[in-house]
Amino acid sequence: MPLRGCTALPLREIDLRASRSSGPGGQHANVTASRIEASFDVAASTSLSDAEKRLIIDRLGPVVTAIAQDERSQARNRELALERLRGRLSAALVVAPPRRSTRPTSASERRRERAKRRRAEIKRGRRPPPADPDA
């Protein structure tokens, strides 16, 4: 199972369990174990580096699980579960580039100041009129 930015995970590191699927399906669903749960123990993996393990554990936890019960076929659900597991692990390994701070444009500053003045005017209009000192 190749992942973005790392080596392929061998299937022996992925625990696949089949169980009965929930939902409609009639007699067929009552006798077939078509639901597949694929779980991957990150800490026990020999194919991931320590840095990759830390990233995944921080973002997804020590055991990553994907479940598929969409199809009637156990083989198709197995493919879907492995695909979902691959997607979750790949997404956890993506490191966002560091943000470079930039100055706001002069136009955006003008828009912000205009909006602040407009908002202050609205709030000023809500105030009760000043008390008349002659009365």
CATH classification of the domain holding 79? 3.30.160.20
Number of domains in the chain: 1
Q: What pLDDT is recorded for position 38?
A: 96
- Structure tokens given for 106: 């002069």
Q: Is residue 48 in some structural domain?
A: yes
93: tokens are: 């390994």
pLDDT block averages, 10 residues each, the chain of length 135: 64 91 67 89 92 94 94 92 94 92 96 98 94 74
The strand ranges marked E within 1-135 are 14-19, 35-41, 63-68
Q: What is the pLDDT of residue 8?
A: 79
Name residue, tokens 């002069």.
Answer: 106
Give the pLDDT confidence score for residue 63 in this predicted structure.
96
65 lies in a domain? yes
Residue 35 is part of which domain span?
11-93
In a domain, 86, yes or no: yes
